[in-house]
Amino acid sequence: MNNFISVNATTYNKSSLNANYEHNVERKKNGDDIDYLLEESDKLSANQVQTFGHSAVSSGTYAENLRNSSAQSISKNNDYSTFKANFDYLENERLKQLKEEKRSDYQKKHLVEFVVSLSEEMAKEYIDKGVDINDGFKAYANALKDTYNCNVLNLSIHMDEGYYDKDNKLHHNIHAHIVAHNYNFKNKKAILSNFSKKDFRNLQTLAQKTFQDTGLDFKKGVSKFKTKKEHLMRNDHILQKQAKELKGLKQDLEQKNRENKEIYTLLNSQKNELKALRTKFEKDTNMYKILSVNIKNLTQNEQEKRSEYRELDSKLKDLQKKTQKEEIKIDNIEKYGKEIKQDLREYLLQNTTKKDNKYFINDMNNFYNSLVDTFNNVSNFDLKIEELEKLQNTNEILKKHLEKINLENENLKVQLGKIDTLNVKIKELISKKDLLEEENYNLKIYLKDKNLEEDYTNYTRKQEHNQDFER
């Protein structure tokens, strides 16, 4: 059973304080709901938030306040104002320290965020058994304080992220965000920028130890080293395939939109032609009414097709941006592969000795353990399968949309064929009408020339009388 634990660390400027809180606690982005969160029924459990308090107990000496700032406590309030007040207090204490020691402030990153991720398989087994895995995250937050003098501001445990794969199977992304003030009051330095490679490795080791001490059997991800190359090749293959599929889908949609434009142009032409035909009939005739109904239907179809064209055009622009992003991801993967090779090459040179044109490992145990830890922490460019699944889902949605458009277009083509047939019949009727009017005119001229108008009038009256009598 997979039981891995991993830790990544990132720094932020203090201007990101609100955005960080919004994402981690409020689960929002720029005021809107985060679109990749799971439905309430799909969540493993509720998210948990802990805010850690940092404030002066008294208006004592600087040394007293500094000792207090090192003593974090759980705050009862998880609102943003408390979160910011705690950060402001620590930041002010940092600036006080610099001022008293007459040092300049060159620090640009004021927040450090540790993201702790757990293997879904083991985490779900604990949850199913009623074991509170949140205790591990809380213990790790405290361990960071004790080990690296991190003044933790906030702990946000997320159980509301995940995705459905192509087989409609639900996968959960179980993790926690630990946000701390990026300053060590004891060594008077920023925390993360002064981390050594050993410190980064120890983040993983500390996570393993902390969780195991809490009774949770999670281990740092040694298996990633064993499968890194395979993982990268698979991801690269999937990404290349998805990007190719996305490009092909984009071309299909572009073709379909060209067809949409042709159809609404044709609809408009047919509409105008029917309008021209309608002028040849009186408004109270059946033919005028038939033509009016068809003109109305054509106008509605034309408007719908124009709207569909604009909507699809907008989707195509978004798809263009997405395609460009995927191309960038492919480039990143390729660069990542080159970085791995270079790191490995340098590592081998540093930890081996050349003798008689052969290389010998200096210390086998240290070599292997250190190499594993090194590559466990090279994760910034890791491609997440979640992103690929999301991309695949996007493709499926667009495919269904395309199929719908195809069906609608086929129906419109059938309708246009019927209208074409109607137009032919109408034109035939108009031709017959014009012919009859011409024959009637010629008959009237003939009767007039032969002085038969009166006889013809009497004849037609007699015929109308007989018809009335029969009725």
CA distance 320 to 313: 11
Place of tokens 């994402």: 23
pLDDT of residue 223: 39
Most confidently predicted of 16-20, 68-72, 304-308: 16-20
How confident is the model over 388-415, as a mean pLDDT? 60
* Tokens, residue 27: 């689960």
In DSSP terms, 161 is beta-bridged to 37
Q: Is the pLDDT at 212 greater than 70, yes or no?
A: yes
Q: Is the pLDDT at 30 greater than 50, yes or no?
A: yes
For domain 4-220, the CATH architecture is: 2-Layer Sandwich (3.30)
pLDDT of residue 122: 92
pLDDT of residue 243: 61
How confident is the model over 111-139, as a mean pLDDT? 93
Rg of the chain over CA atoms, in angstroms? 38
Of the candidates 413, 434, 335, 321, the one whose C-alpha atom is nearest the C-alpha of residue 380 is 335
> What's the full length of the chain, in residues?
471
pLDDT of residue 424: 67
pLDDT of residue 319: 66
Using pLDDT thresholds of 50, 70 and 90, give the confidence band for residue 227: very low
Average confidence score pLDDT of the chain: 76
Using pLDDT thresholds of 50, 70 and 90, give the confidence band for residue 224: very low
Secondary structure of residue 153 in the 3-state scheme: strand
Q: For residue range 6-28, what is the model confidence (pLDDT) as tens digits?
A: 898 989 999 999 999 999 999 98
How confident is the model over 452-459, as a mean pLDDT? 72
Contact 395, 376 (CB under 8 A): no
Q: Where are the beta strands (DSSP E) in 106-167?
A: 111-118, 151-158, 162-164
pLDDT of residue 278: 84
Helix (H) or strand (E) holding 402: helix 385-449
Give 291 or 361, the one with higher predicted confidence: 291
Q: Is the pLDDT at 435 greater than 90, yes or no?
A: no
User: What is the C-alpha end-to-end distance of the chain, expressed in Å?
Assistant: 95
Percent of the chain with pLDDT over 90: 26
CB atoms within 10 A of CB 181: 27
CB atoms within 10 A of CB 357: 5
Place of tokens 């698979």: 234
Contact 219, 5 (CB under 8 A): yes
Percent of the chain with pLDDT over 70: 61
CA distance 160 to 37: 6
Using pLDDT thresholds of 50, 70 and 90, give the confidence band for residue 321: low
Give 67 or 370, the one with higher predicted confidence: 370
Contact 245, 322 (CB under 8 A): no
Using pLDDT thresholds of 50, 70 and 90, give the confidence band for residue 228: very low
